[in-house]
Amino acid sequence: MIDAIDEKTHEEKLLELETIVNQSPAVAFRWNADDKWSVQFVSDNIWQFGYRPEEFLSNGLCFADIIHPDDLPRVRENLARCTAEGVDEFSGEYRIIDGQGKVRWLDDRTVILRDENSFPLAYQGLLLDATDRKKYEQHVIRQKEMLQAILDIIPAMIVYFDTDQKIAYGNLAWETITGWTLEAMQERDLLEEFYPDPEYRHSASEFIARAEGVWQNFHIRVRDGRVIETRWANVKLSDGTNIGIGQDITDQKKLEEKVRLNQKLEAVGRLAGGIAHDFNNILTAIIGFCTLSKMRTEENDPVHQYQDRILSAAEKAAGLTQSLLAFSRKQMISVSRINLVECVNLIAEKLGTVLGDRVQLVIRHEFPVLQVVADCQCIEQIILSLASNSRDAMPDGGKVIIATNLAEMGTDFIRANGFGKVGRYACMTVTDTGVGMDPETQRNIFVPFFTTKNVGQGTGLGLPSAYGTVKQLGGFITAQSVLGSGSVFTIYLPSASEEIDRSLVERPAMVRPAVPLILLADDNELVRTVSRELLEKAGFAVVEAVDGLDAVEKFREMETAPDLLLFDIVMPRMNGMEAFQKIHEKRPELPVLFMSGYQEKIDPVRGLPEGAVEIVGKPVSPKDLVQKIRAILKLV
């Protein structure tokens, strides 16, 4: 009776155990250690994989039949290795094909049953459906790969700081910019490497700790020893760690410095042009009145020599204002289509006396013809200024190389320099083997009156005037130098693609009266007075106007039309150019001669408007002015 009760209890326990297994997510199994892994037992819950137990137990379906064909060799290999090495437990993940033909993932936990000779008899264990977990893991992997790809393609530095402010992660941009990989920095303190100065490092550490999400600039030392400018913002995470986002702004800072310098040069240029204009008016009056005084003085009069000295000093002052006008891009130039190569060759013949015997001159041309719209005298001024600078940089002698070529200016050049215009340019470089320039000198070489020479040895206007002349011709100039390794100045002039016609419009011949009449317009009273007196002394009749509008009104009131218009350009109310155009509409045959303290309202390429004869720069000598007027009126 007791045995019967025990047997019933045992059967109930087995039934209870079977129920537990069948209701659990784990499938219990035992299969034979044969080649196909035929099944001895499988729990009823095999249905979750789309199979019934009898398919394995009665219909001859073996476990190897449902393993994914791509994974079966790997499962066999791993199980064989465990068997051969005497390992009694095997675990692994692999795919099967379920009863509906879908791919599922299994988590297999197997125990190897052996005989007394350790030969495998069967395999038994549990199978868990790992499909959802594998999908989630693959999703996490894809997300991680996507995040890593994003982090690596972002040009900004992304850094993860642990609670001790150690860098636990840095993206590809961080490694590229700093030169440090995480592996190379495992045993080093990054903050000490980046910020050698203790006080500066403490400031950076406090900024990281605050992690307020605001941007702040820091200069850091990278692996190769360079110091770069960076900009950082940090945000704190809930666990006390934080993420830093940084940018290398070194090139941006350099570009901003170049833009500021260009703006500074523009501002100084406007100021210099205005000063030169007013000063030229003063010099015109000085030269004119001194000439009038000289005309009334006998040559043997002691005052005569003082007058000559005044005129000589005024001419030197005029040269100084011309340099200022060149810098401010308002000098008087007469442009035409020229071959830059021929122009450089002609100028090179004159450079021997400038450079001296100890400097070797080398001329190189990549093309026999480089057409530009320019003034060869302006090119000469540029080359002489640069050559003089090179000579002074080589006190012990050296070499100057002047080379011409054709160049394409693109967006990379403009982005790097902060100026420029996309297009084709005739390029001229002046290279020397001199002492070079430090960064501070390079920043100021085009600033008027800046000089590294001793007092009295330079005006500081050579390179600024070259800069202004290049700009006035529509070009650009760059300077590159390393202290101890010489300097390279590169000039870009727009390549001329079309012939420019500057032929003057033929005007009908006019019958000149015995006393030619000139309509003079200038807003400066001294200039107007001295010009009138000089012209009257030379035999001309003069009608004065105080500005352009007054000139137009005086013209309308005149009973006899003037033979020549002599107009200043820059005047209040109406400038000389506008006044001339209004008169030109009524009397297109009237010639005009412009005078100006600087070039204004005139296209440096197209030149003077239709009907205009010439423009002369103030101060002009009385003799030259009279000769020009006589030539225009054909009185010579």
Give the CATH number of the domain where residue 477 resides. 3.30.565.10
Higher pLDDT, 537 or 64: 64
Q: Quote the pLDDT of residue 558.
A: 83
Q: Quote the pLDDT of residue 511.
A: 44
Query: What percent of the chain is modeled with pLDDT above 90?
Result: 15
For residue 471, the SS3 value is helix
Q: Quick check: 564 pLDDT over 90?
A: no
Q: What is the mean pLDDT of residues 180-200?
A: 82
| Together in a domain, 531 and 548 | yes
| Together in a domain, 75 and 181 | no
Decide which of 220, 248, 276 is a domain's last residue: 248
Decide which of 494, 527, 556 is a domain's last residue: 494
- Give residue for tokens 């840095």: 170
DSSP symbol at 398: E
- What's the whole-model pTM score? 0.45
| Together in a domain, 384 and 268 | no
Q: Quote the pLDDT of residue 276.
A: 63
Q: What is the mean pLDDT of residues 153-162?
A: 87
Residue 107: give the domain boundaries. 18-135
Q: Quick check: 414 pLDDT over 50?
A: yes
Nearest to 442 by CA among 479, 474, 409, 412: 479
In a domain, 197, yes or no: yes
| Together in a domain, 322 and 346 | no
In which band, very low, low, confident or very high, does the pLDDT at 390 lie, cut at 50, 70 and 90? Answer: confident
User: For the chain, first and last CA: distance in Å?
Assistant: 157
Q: Quick check: 7 pLDDT over 70?
A: no
Q: Are 99 and 49 in contact (CB under 8 A)?
A: yes
Q: What is the mean pLDDT of residues 79-92?
A: 87
Q: Quick check: 72 pLDDT over 90?
A: yes
In which band, very low, low, confident or very high, does the pLDDT at 504 lie, cut at 50, 70 and 90? Answer: very low
Best-predicted range by mean pLDDT among 11-15, 339-343, 631-635? 339-343
Q: Quick check: 443 pLDDT over 50?
A: yes
Mean pLDDT check: name the lowest of 152-156, 239-243, 300-304, 546-550.
Answer: 300-304
Q: Are 515 and 446 in contact (CB under 8 A)?
A: no
Best-predicted range by mean pLDDT among 206-220, 247-261, 494-508? 206-220
Q: Quick check: 309 pLDDT over 80?
A: no
Q: What is the mean pLDDT of residues 408-413?
A: 86
In a domain, 479, yes or no: yes
In a domain, 169, yes or no: yes
For residue 507, the SS3 value is coil
In a domain, 504, yes or no: no
Reported as a single tens digit per residue, the pLDDT across 12-39 is 655 655 566 666 788 988 989 898 999 9
In whole angstroms, give the CA distance from residue 343 to residue 159. 57
In whole angstroms, give the CA distance from residue 126 to residue 140. 26
Higher pLDDT, 289 or 81: 81
| Together in a domain, 130 and 168 | no
In a domain, 13, yes or no: no
Name the average pLDDT for the chain. 80
| Together in a domain, 346 and 463 | yes
In a domain, 111, yes or no: yes
Q: What is the mean pLDDT of residues 207-219?
A: 89
Q: Quick check: 628 pLDDT over 90?
A: no
Q: Which amino acid is at 411?
A: T
Q: Quote the pLDDT of residue 454.
A: 52
Q: What is the mean pLDDT of residues 170-179?
A: 88
Q: What is the mean pLDDT of residues 311-327?
A: 64
Q: Quote the pLDDT of residue 106.
A: 92
Could you tell me the CA-to-CA distances from 182 to 154, 223, 292, 341 in Å, in that order? 18, 12, 84, 55
Q: Are 390 and 487 in contact (CB under 8 A)?
A: yes
| Together in a domain, 131 and 158 | no
Higher pLDDT, 94 or 506: 94
- Tell me phi and psi for residue 324, to 5 degrees: -65, -40
Q: What is the CATH number of the domain that holds 561?
A: 3.40.50.2300
Q: Quote the pLDDT of residue 324.
A: 55
Reported as a single tens digit per residue, the pLDDT across 246-300 is 999 888 887 777 767 666 666 655 555 556 666 667 777 777 777 777 777 777 7
Q: Quick check: 10 pLDDT over 60?
A: no
Q: Quote the pLDDT of residue 430.
A: 92
In a domain, 145, yes or no: no
- Tell me phi and psi for residue 443, to 5 degrees: -70, -20
Q: Which residues pair with 373 in a beta bridge?
A: 337
| Together in a domain, 23 and 113 | yes
Q: What is the CATH number of the domain that holds 72?
A: 3.30.450.20
The total number of residues shown for the chain amounts to: 636
Q: Quick check: 67 pLDDT over 50?
A: yes
Nearest to 541 by CA among 530, 551, 549, 533: 533
| Together in a domain, 381 and 528 | no
In a domain, 190, yes or no: yes
Decide which of 227, 248, 269 is a domain's last residue: 248
| Together in a domain, 318 and 343 | no
The tokens for 220 are: 């850091």
| Together in a domain, 128 and 160 | no
Q: Quick check: 501 pLDDT over 70?
A: no
Query: Domain tally for the chain?
Result: 5
| Together in a domain, 319 and 340 | no
